Amino acid sequence: MTKKEKIEAGFTILAIFALWPVILGWENPIYQVILVVILVVFIALVAQKFRRLRSIYNATKVEAKKRRPPGGNADEPFD
């Protein structure tokens, strides 16, 4: 796990803990501000994670195109 992934995991746990005052019905304007900040950061983290997954997917597509079928012609489709 990279340092970036550890920070993302830690922030996810923090976001879950931040929901408890709302679940317990505690009302305070400070909680609303904290929840909005956490929501914005969480959206940024999710977008970054999707970009990372898309780049990994594209890299595997390129890698798959470079492979030749086992024991056959490179122009033949896989069966």
Is the pLDDT score of 68 beyond 70?
A: no
The domain segmentation of the chain, as residue ranges, is 3-66
Segment 2-22, tens digit of pLDDT = 898 888 888 888 888 888 888
50/43 Cα distance (integer angstroms):
11
Segment 15-47, tens digit of pLDDT = 888 888 888 888 888 888 888 888 898 898 889
- DSSP-assigned letter for residue 24: T
- pTM here is 0.60
What's residue 45's pLDDT? 87
Contact 42, 15 (CB under 8 A): yes
Handedness of CA 33, 34, 38, 41 (dihedral sign): positive
